[in-house]
Amino acid sequence: MAENQEPRIGVFICHCGTNIAGSLDVNAVMEYARSLPNVVVADEYQYMCSTPGQNKIIDAEKDYDLTGVVVAACSPRLHEPTFRTATAEGGLNKFRFEMANIRDQNSWVHMHDWEGATEKAKDQVRIAVAKARLLEDLQPKSVPVEHAAMVVGAGVGGMQAALDLANAGIKTYLVEKDPTIGGRMSQLDKTFPTLDCSQCILTPKMVDAGRHPNIILETYTEVENVEGYIGNFDITLRKKARGTRDGAEMVAAGLEGSGCNGCGDCASVCPVIKPNPFEMGMAPRKAIYIYHPQVMPLQYTIDFDACVKCGLCKDICGTEKNAIDLEMTDSLEKVKVGCVILATGYDLIPIEDKTEWGYRRYENVITGLEFERLICASGPTGGHLIRPSDGETPMKVGFVLCAGSRDNTGGVGKPYCSRFCCMYSLKHAHQIMEKIPGAVPYLFYMDIRSFGKMYEEFYYRIQNEGAKFIRGRVAAIEEDPITKNLYVQTEDTLLGRPVNVECNLVVLAAAIQPKPDAERIRQMFGVSKSQDGWYLEAHPKLNPCGTTTAGIFLAGVCQGPKDIPDTVAQAEGAASAASIPIHQGEVQLEPYFAQCVEDLCAGCGMCVPQCPYGALSLIQKDDRQVMTVTEAKCKGCGTCGGFCPGGAIRMQHFTSPQICAQIDSFLLNPLGGEE
């Protein structure tokens, strides 16, 4: 197209079935569009996004020698890419396309105002044409992508994502704040509905992740700082002082000795005893410890908050291994990766704050996770389920489902379904009937949500095994102060009468919430959150692994409650999505980034702190300072452009002349026709 050629605009109005055509006069809008300056063709079609609809654009560009295309249809979020592709196919630069959203912003909101909606659609088309007349060719930029990835959180989701990336040939940092990988799944006894031993099916994955040549395991490590953008994230890791070194670290530090081999001599002499968080505080550990026998890596960790530095561990470790360093401090490490997957998991809500159920007030009220440890053969009781108050075997066990889930009362309660509590409570019911002959589980439920493959069948199985189901939200649990038995009070909503069941033990299926440090991590990586604090996916249906920040992906419960199969599936999806830009080696950036017109820039630097993405900086150029834009970081938000006192910042695709033309066309020319 020649410079300074008079613009030639084509306008296409979409019916969107009756979504648009049912609420406004499409033909009247089309006739109006024909009267607008520089519009050389206006047409309408049932579905502009269909192949014939797109062909209208392609043909018109050739037949009418168009310089810009306007489609009045649904939302740019849905179909802007479709129409841009068609525009490019017709021969124009794809950024010479402009969309008027006459569906979401018009026909849907003015459904019962035919005249008003039609007039508003005319305004919208006129404004879009005004901008289309001034559109320019823009070229997308591409930036190189580092051939490495990071996964934050090494539960089953994080491990799966890391293994997939590593198997795809990508160097992957697997970062875990705890001393071992494995996460929540390693705390579970069995998994539903197959009743696999959780640790048995998890350990091979832990071993694979620990030994994979492409995985760099960063345990007892936290993310300290994040800079950069897709393809080029510069991440600072804080390697917390572990107090011990493995063989590789000994070599790296140039120290004599073979390093920690996990023999455990140190723990046997340690005089300090602390509750083991892995056992939900129900078993002791020493100040130098491992969580459980299958930890990966098998390396002891010193809890420096508890350690009294008596040196007994160091003495017994000896000079041959020389693994222990009581003076160790945190160290920082910088790594560069192309993409990041967040898999930070969940915590239980502080269920003691729902005081009506008496958790932490009554000894025999426990949580589902505590039950997992008490029923687990490697747990603190060797798999014997006992009552905490007296060590007796409970014969009547109450399970309170939706303990804080699906709870709209505010406070600690959560309005959402925590999605795995029904199933694990069914599993718990099965486990007690299997292990304790004659024991009766009572499940107090609102609905049983057994939605997965073979889940409903599992529910039937537990029913047939003799579990009792009582439909109703538990109002209160009262303890008999003498026997320490618990009276579970609810209304049986199927019988329509109050019930009061005496139980020896009550297990609360507590709701789940994001981890305490999820908020800090979210902010560092620039990820949005949903109302409940879970990380927000880019689109709940069409982009469930991505986020609105390019290069950051999500796996597992950090995005919302899900069980192991769903977590693993999402992890594989996230790994696949993250590997695409890494394998492409470069990513294309939409050319919306700000530009500095250096002739106008006074180098005042006032724009720099305004940028929410840290994309601006001052550089020295020919004896003076000017602003420069890191294009890959710029999101085109326009904050700097609006702020610049000298008007030196130009927002591509949203230039001041383009925006002024839109405003003018709305205010000055409401009737159409010649200007």
Partner 1 sequence: MSEHFDHSYAFFLGCIAPNRYPGCEAAAIRTSAKVGIELLPLKGASCCPAPGAFGAIDLRVWYAMAARNLCLAEEMNKDIALICNGCYKSIWEVNHKLKHDDELRDQVNEVLAEIDMEYKGSIDVWHLAELYYDEKICGVKKIADSVVRPLDGTKIAVHYGCHLMKPGKDRHFGDTEHPMWIDELVGALGAEPVQYRNKMQCCGAGGGVRGYDILHSLDITNEKLINMQEAQADAITEVCPFCQLQFDRGQIEIQENFGQTYNLPVLHYNELLGLAQGMSPSELALDLHAIDCKPYLEKII
Q: Which residues bind partner 1 (CB under 8 A)?
A: 355-356, 358, 361, 409-410, 476, 478-482, 487
Q: How far is the CB of 357 from partner 1 (least distance, A)?
A: 9
Nearer to partner 1, 232 or 364 (CB): 364
Rank residues 347 and 478 by Cβ distance to partner 1 and give the closer one.
478
SS (H, E, C) 155-221: CHHHHHHHHHHHHCCCEEEEECCCCCCCCHHHHCCEECCCCEEHHHHHHHHHHHHHHCCCEEEECCE
d(CA 285, CA 273): 6
Tokens 């047939």 -> residue: 464
Q: How far apart are CA 577 and CA 566, in angstroms?
A: 16
Nearer to partner 1, 479 or 537 (CB): 479
Alpha-carbon gap, residue 20 to 23, rounded angstroms? 6
Nearest 5°: phi and psi at 117? -65, -40
- State in angstroms the smallest separation of the CB of 415 from partner 1: 16
Give the pair of three-digit tokens for residue 392: 């007796």
- For partner 1, the closer CB: 499 or 618: 499
Q: How far apart are CA 156 and CA 172, in angstroms?
A: 16
Q: How far is the CB of 354 from partner 1 (least distance, A)?
A: 8
Cβ of residue 487: shortest distance to partner 1, in angstroms? 7
Provide, rounded to whole angstroms, the least separation between the CB of residue 481 and partner 1.
Answer: 5
> CB-wise, 65 or 353, nearer to partner 1?
353
Cis peptide before 76 (omega within 30 of 0): no
The distance of closest approach from Cβ of residue 477 to partner 1 in the complex, given in angstroms and rounded to an integer, is: 10
Q: Please state the closest distance from residue 366 (CB atom) to partner 1, in A.
A: 18
Closer residue to partner 1, CB minimum distance, 2 or 482: 482
Q: Roughly what angle, to the nearest 10 degrees, separates helices 421-435 and 455-465?
A: 40
Q: Which is nearer to partner 1, 176 or 479 (CB)?
A: 479
> Residue 362 or 534: which CB sits closer to partner 1?
362
Name which of 391 and 481 has its Cβ closer to partner 1: 481
Token reading at 352:
């003691």
* CB closer to partner 1 out of 357 and 525: 357
What is the C-alpha radius of gyration for the chain, rounded to an integer number of angstroms?
A: 31
- In SS3 terms, 414-456 reads as CCCCCCCHHHHHHHHHHHHHHHCCCCEEEEEECCCCCCCCCHH
Q: Which two tokens stand for residue 404?
A: 């804080």
Rounded to whole angstroms, the Cα distance separating 297 from 290 reads 10
- 7/358 with CB nearer partner 1: 358
Q: Which residues pair with 403 in a beta bridge?
A: 510
Cβ atoms of 275 and 218 within 8 Å: the answer is no
Distances (CA, A) of 106 to 120, 447, 662: 7, 40, 18
Please say which residue, 190 or 354, places its beta carbon nearer to partner 1.
Answer: 354
Nearer to partner 1, 211 or 361 (CB): 361
Minimum distance from residue 506 beta carbon to partner 1 (Å) = 15
For residue 535, the minimal CB distance to partner 1 (Å) is 30
Q: What minimum distance in Å lies between the beta carbon of 482 and partner 1?
A: 7
Minimal distance in Å, beta carbon 282 to partner 1? 23
The tokens for 155 are 């539960």
CA–CA distance, 574 with 559 (Å, rounded to integer): 12
Taking each continuous run of H as one helix and of E as one strand, the counts in the chain are 17, 34
Indicate left, alpha or beta for 169 from its phi (over 0: left) and psi (-120 to 50: alpha).
left
Helix, strand, or coil (residue 616): strand
Nearer to partner 1, 434 or 480 (CB): 480
Min CB(513)–partner 1 separation in Å: 21
**What's the closest the beta carbon of residue 374 comes to partner 1, in angstroms?**
25
What's the closest the beta carbon of residue 275 comes to partner 1, in angstroms?
24
Minimum separation from the CB atom of position 470 to partner 1 (A): 19
Q: Which residues pair with 429 in a beta bridge?
A: none
Nearer to partner 1, 482 or 671 (CB): 482
Whether 603 and 626 have beta carbons less than 8 Å apart is answered as yes
Say if residues 192 and 459 touch (Cβ distance below 8 Å): no
Instruction: Rank residues 245 and 414 by Cβ distance to partner 1 and give the closer one.
Output: 414
Tell me the three-class secondary structure of 226-288, residue by residue.
EEEECCEEEEEEEECCCCECCHHHHHHHCCCCCCCCCCCHHHHHCCCEEECHHHCCCCEEECE
Q: Which of 373/414 has CB closer to partner 1?
A: 414
Minimum distance from residue 446 beta carbon to partner 1 (Å)? 20
Round to whole Å and give the CA distance between 56 and 44.
Answer: 9
- Using the CB atoms, write b or e for 455-481: b if 16+ within 10 Å: beebbeebeeeebebbbbbbeebebee
3-state DSSP of 315-364:
HHHHHHHCCECCCCCCEEEEEEECEEEECCCEEECCHHHCHHHCECCECC
User: Minimum distance between the CB of residue 390 and partner 1, rounded to whole angstroms?
Assistant: 17
